[in-house]
Structure 1
Amino acid sequence: MRLLKQLVPVAAVAFVGYAVAGAVAGSPPATLLAGVATAVLAVLVYARVVRWSERRVPEEVATRGAARLLVRWTLVGAALFAAVVANLALVGGYRIDGFGSLAGAAGLVGSMAAAAATEELLFRGILFRIVEERAGTWGALVLTGLLFGMSHLFNPHADLWGALAVAIEAGGMLAAAYAATRTLWVPIGLHFGWNFAAAGVFGAEVSGSGATQGLLHGTTSGPALLSGGAFGPEASVYAVAAGLLLTVAFMWLARRRGTVVAFRRGATATLTR
């Protein structure tokens, strides 16, 4: 019941926010405003329902230091995707065909902010955190990572490999980021930076969701294993490798900090030190 009490209100904010964004899709300023409003409202609703259902202060979305963490990890996420694109370009799998649209990129700030905030609140803030109490950190990481990847199968150009790639590189990495830091601002920043760099900067397709209009007109080509094919660069082996490396780094940090939760058959899990 606690899972439903938290999941339903945040999912409702996401649903309404996406509906509004779809209705104003032709207007980048309106898309920017709707996306940012959805992200902010989702965080506020999450904080409220956690406080109500768990009788605690939701420190994972504490406002103190939030801006610093968001900026820092947005830059890390963008740099990580830029490294993937650089590797693709080196083997001829990515090229720039010209400049795109500044207005289009501004609209993508809103849509990517909404996606990053709502998905992290749902998958890491609620599902991962509650499942972790019983299944432990590793069990929750695998389960929610797979659910996160499979949720992308509904995108127009999605395929099974693309969904599995997202499960490995993003589902694992973002869960590990939360496990190591115990704040949702880190995975939200990583998620936003990665997605905005993909669509808003390099003009690449994000998770098979369709063409984007960012700062650059980017084209991918070559073997699907390297370029990601119709799904976009996230289905590239370079993206999977990048996500896996960061997952390992975060889990090493979580182990060192003593924030890895052990599997328990009872209702309460303990931290392994």
Structure 2
Amino acid sequence: MRFVWQFLAVTAVYALGGGTVSAVEENDWLTLVLGVTVAALAVLVYGWVVRRTEHRPALDVAREGAAARTGRGVLIGGGMFAAVVVTLFLAGYYEVDGLGSVTGALGLFGFMAAVAVTEEVVYRGVLFRFTEERVGTYTAMALTGIVFGLSHLFNEHATLWGGLAIAVEAGFMLAAAYAATRSLWLTIGVHFGWNFAAAGVFSTEVSGSGVSQGLLDASTSGPQLLTGGGFGPEASVYSVGFGALLTLVFLWLARRRGNIVPFGSRRAAGVDSVATLPR
């Protein structure tokens, strides 16, 4: 029942908040305000439902150190996507034609904030954490990562390869980041940094959902395997490679900190003896 109530609470915010923000997408300022509001509401609801159902504070969204952890995550996610774009640019597959839209970037800031927070509380805060209790860190990472990737197949220009790429570079990587730090702030930052860099800065497609006009007026062309085609650079082998590498780094850190939950232990990491506070 802990899982049921938490899942229902966060998916309600996910669905209602996402629908509301999408409905005002044409208005950049309203998207900014509503997006940030939905993001804040998702964190508050998650913290509240964890306290009510588990009778403990939600340490993975603790206020102490939240800004620093989120900031580090944004740098990691944004830096990772920037590395992909630089690689494409040097290969001649990404071209900048000038400046784009500042107000468009602001609207995308709000939109991506809502996406990052709601998806992280659903997939890492609830699905990964509860699955990990039952089957251990590695199996939970694989299962929830695949579910996360396949959920992107509902996007307009989605492909099976794109969904699998998302599973590896985002689903696996973000689960590993949560295992290493036991902090949703870090995974929210990584998720937001990646998405906002993709749409709000470099103006590329995000998960096949359409070309976004961010700070740069730019275009991508070239072999689909390298550029990601209509799905965007997230389906590029470069993104998969960088994401897989970062996954290994986070798993190494999780093991070093003793945060790996063995299969069959039925133990909640980050709640009891593994880590009392997110790091």
Distance 1:24 1:221 in 2: 30
Residue 198 (structure 2) aligns with: 198
Residue 170 (structure 2) aligns with: 170
Distance 2:144 2:215 in 1: 33
TM, length-normalised to structure 1: 0.97
Residue 127 (structure 2) aligns with: 127
Confirm or deny that 1:78 pairs with 2:72: no
Equivalent position SS for 2:11 = helix
Q: Are the aligned partners of 1:262 and 1:269 in contact in 2 as well (CA < 8 Å)?
A: no
Q: CA deviation at 1:269?
A: 6.5
Residue 250 (structure 1) aligns with: 250
Residue 222 (structure 2) aligns with: 222
1:76-134 Cα shifts (integer Å, max 9, x gaps): 21111000000111111111122110000000000000000000100000000000001
Residue 88 (structure 1) aligns with: 88
Q: CA deviation at 1:23?
A: 2.3
Q: Are the aligned partners of 1:95 and 1:220 in contact in 2 as well (CA < 8 Å)?
A: yes
Residue 99 (structure 1) aligns with: 99
Residue 112 (structure 1) aligns with: 112
Q: Are the aligned partners of 1:77 and 1:191 in contact in 2 as well (CA < 8 Å)?
A: yes
Distance 1:83 1:267 in 2: 38
Residue 68 (structure 2) aligns with: 68
Which stretch has the larger CA shift, 18-27 or 222-231?
18-27
Q: Which runs of 4+ in 1 moved over 2 A?
A: 266-272
Unaligned runs of 5+ in 1: none
Q: Are the aligned partners of 2:102 and 2:214 in contact in 1 as well (CA < 8 Å)?
A: yes
Which stretch has the larger CA shift, 233-242 or 84-93?
84-93
Residue 8 (structure 2) aligns with: 8
Aligned partner of 2:231: which letter? F
Equivalent position SS for 1:219 = strand
Q: Are the aligned partners of 1:263 and 1:269 in contact in 2 as well (CA < 8 Å)?
A: no
Q: CA RMSD in A?
A: 1.5
1:9-24 equivalence runs, <5 A: 9-24=9-24
Q: Are the aligned partners of 1:136 and 1:269 in contact in 2 as well (CA < 8 Å)?
A: no
1:232-243 equivalence runs, <5 A: 232-243=232-243
Distance 1:79 1:19 in 2: 29
1:107-162 Cα shifts (integer Å, max 9, x gaps): 00000000000001000000000000011000000000000000000001100000
Distance 1:267 1:256 in 2: 20
Distance 1:188 1:171 in 2: 13
Tell me the matched-pair count.
272
1:174-212 Cα shifts (integer Å, max 9, x gaps): 000000000111110000000000000000000101110
Distance 1:57 1:8 in 2: 19
1:210-235 Cα shifts (integer Å, max 9, x gaps): 11010012211111100000000000
